[in-house]
Structure 1
Amino acid sequence: MATPLSAAAFEAALRAEGVTVKEHGNWSTHNRNAIGAWGPAQGVMLHHTAGSNSVSLCRTGMAGLPGPLCVAVIAKDGTVHLVGYGRTNHAGRGSTAAYNAVRNGTTIPSRPGSDAVDGNAHFYGFEIENLGNGRDPYPDAQLVAVEKIAAAVCRAHGWGAGRVIGHKEWTTRKIDPTFSMPAMRTRIAKRLTKTASGGNASGGSGTPAVTYEPFPGAAFFAAGRRSAVITAMGRRLVAEGCGRYEVGPGPSWTAADRRSYAAWQHKLGYSGTDADGIPGRVSWAKLRVPRI
């Protein structure tokens, strides 16, 4: 089970994936968490707005359905408007079979079953600006943004593209989004084979080599660890104005490294336990440690 990303980590993940972001008001604390649980996070759910004035409507909601209605709205020009964060009124109840398929990474059923699971508790909800009439186009810039936001969340959690579901795959009550979800998952899966900065994750022949050191995992950063990766990380922290070293940086993981990395996390907007000085996948990607 996955704890949802903090708002700061979520925004950092989007920006690391190259998403154009616009923040609206107190989006990071605007949610429906007081109504019920937010988490464990199981996946990403895509919707279309089926109307105009989408950003303000998704932020404020409507009579009988208070906002936010999603965490972000993806405009036709590819801009991702952050309108809320946490539990939002986007999914409603849906199929247990679909829920289990997403959670287990298996094939999503071709037709959802009865509505039984509270999707608002378990999915990051994104609204895609579209009339939903089957004729209104999805511009390429918008589809690229959809691909990027889904990949960003999946990458941050270590999920595959099978964690991305359309509202129409969640419940028989809905038809959104009006594009092929299998095709979109294929796009997302392809993006996930590359680093967030655009390199090929495997460094295979005929493709751009990975420029930056891949995230070695949080457990790597433990007392007694000695590696050239730690030296390279420390040099990048110093370059970012976050160095808290009296001597070094050097190859051994020390309290000074942890203080320096905590300064980097604070610079990215993290706080509390999200700024404890232990590297995480998203903040590591943003630091861009040169490949050793």
Structure 2
Amino acid sequence: MATPLTADRLLAALRAEGVTVVEHPGWRTHDRNGHGAWGPVTGVMIHHTVSSGTASSVEMCFNGYPGLPGPLCHGVIAKDGTVHLLSAGRANHAGGGDPSVLKAVAGETYGDRPPVPRAHQGSPGAADGNSRFYGFECVNLGNGTDPWPTAQLDAIECVSAALCRAHGWGAKSVIGHLEWSDWKSDPKGFGMPGMRARVQARLNKAPAKPAPGAGKPPAPRLHPFPGTSFFRAETSSPVITAMGRRLVAEGCSAYAVGPGPRWSEADRRSYAKWQRKLGFRGSDADGVPGAVSWNALKVPYTR
């Protein structure tokens, strides 16, 4: 077991392994550390999202849903192999699992597969997986037929190897959710023994030196200012959600519930906080976006 990586070290480890990383706004401080231990860590757990689409899957995993608040993982692995970082702390991804599996993973003492799990969230004696594992959700419907593109499988291998290399673990520290809890079936569509073989083969080699500029995230595409008239009660758009998430990341939230797609009074009050943070006063801080404050907010492009 090991001390969890800091946000900076986590990011550096992934980039050193050649992973293409997108840093989600606020990911460094978005965690569940106030609701349980984070560490010592034992390994890496792979999941599937039971969803489609990168943007919606990332949003779901960042915010969570009723009964299970986010973050739901440390990163989302998209079908194109891009890894969207959502947390550097405790995340709601593993839940309760079998203590015998935890022991086998910590000691890397098992053969092809860990012991068959016989515990789950809420069962007597279940171990807290959220405190012991890094978790990565992979965008996939989880129905056994949704494809796993080569780029996505390569990214799973690279992410797993990056964390194992950073902690001095072998590939047996990488498991699927179905190997942790007898309630779970993810990831579905590829086998974890084969993935562990890929990870170990990668660990047996020195990490490839990235080409100049490789591993750096591309400059984010920002949404242009849509005009003042866009912000009215009848407007419902993912642009409003993206704006709200940026306001939250900037510490300007007036939301009782997370940002949504329909323009609301909570959006206006949150945006007014942003305007005041920029130094606007009076009618210039009325909460209605203008071009200058919008461009300073750097809202990610959303289709």
Alpha-carbon distance in structure 2 between the residues aligned to 1:192 and 1:89 = 28
Give the TM-score normalised by the residue count of structure 2: 0.64
Give the TM-score normalised by the residue count of structure 1: 0.67
Alpha-carbon distance in structure 2 between the residues aligned to 1:198 and 1:100 = 34
Structure 2 residue aligned with 1:166, among 176, 189, 208?
176
> 1:141 — aligned with what?
151
> 1:23 — aligned with what?
23
> 1:89 — aligned with what?
92
> 2:199 — aligned with what?
188
Q: Tell me if the contact between 2:17 and 2:158 (Cα under 8 Å) persists in the aligned partners.
A: yes
State the AA in 1 paired with 2:164.
C
State the AA in 2 paired with 1:187.
R
Secondary structure at the counterpart of residue 35 of structure 2: coil
- Structure 1 residue 110: deviation in Å? 4.8
Cα deviation, 1:167-214, whole Å, max 9, x if unaligned, reads: 000011110001100000000000001112269xxxxxxxxxxxxxxx
> 1:44 — aligned with what?
44
Q: Tell me if the contact between 1:78 and 1:141 (Cα under 8 Å) persists in the aligned partners.
A: yes
- Structure 1 residue 125: deviation in Å? 0.4
**Which segment drifts farther, 45-54 or 101-110?**
101-110
- Structure 1 residue 111: deviation in Å? 1.8
Structure 1 residue aligned with 2:60, among 54, 57, 61?
57
Alpha-carbon distance in structure 2 between the residues aligned to 1:186 and 1:198 = 22
State the AA in 2 paired with 1:111.
V
Task: Say if 1:34 and 1:139 are closer, same or farther in 2 by CA, change over 3 A.
Answer: same
Secondary structure at the counterpart of residue 191 of structure 1: helix
Secondary structure at the counterpart of residue 34 of structure 1: helix
> 1:197 — aligned with what?
208
Q: Which runs of 5+ in 2 are unaligned?
A: 121-125, 211-303
The number of equivalent residue pairs is 199
Alpha-carbon distance in structure 1 between the residues aligned to 2:76 and 2:92 = 13
Structure 2 residue aligned with 1:101, among 81, 99, 104?
104
Percent identity reads 59
Secondary structure at the counterpart of residue 79 of structure 2: coil
Alpha-carbon distance in structure 2 between the residues aligned to 1:190 and 1:198 = 17
Is the aligned partner of 1:125 residue 2:135? yes
Alignment of 1:164-243 (within 5 A): 164-178=174-188, 179-197=190-208
- Structure 1 residue 109: deviation in Å? 3.3
> 1:32 — aligned with what?
32
Alignment of 1:66-85 (within 5 A): 66-85=69-88
Q: Tell me if the contact between 1:96 and 1:113 (Cα under 8 Å) persists in the aligned partners.
A: no
Structure 1 residue aligned with 2:116, among 111, 115, 129?
111
Task: Say if 1:180 and 1:198 are closer, same or farther in 2 by CA, change over 3 A.
Answer: farther
- Structure 1 residue 85: deviation in Å? 1.7
Q: Tell me if the contact between 1:45 and 1:167 (Cα under 8 Å) persists in the aligned partners.
A: yes
> 2:8 — aligned with what?
8
Q: Tell me if the contact between 2:10 and 2:88 (Cα under 8 Å) persists in the aligned partners.
A: no
Give the RMSD, CA atoms, in angstroms.
Answer: 1.2
- The list of structure 1 runs, each at least 4 consecutive aligned residues, that deviate by more than 2 angstroms after superposition, is none
State the AA in 1 paired with 2:109.
T
- Structure 1 residue 114: deviation in Å? 2.0
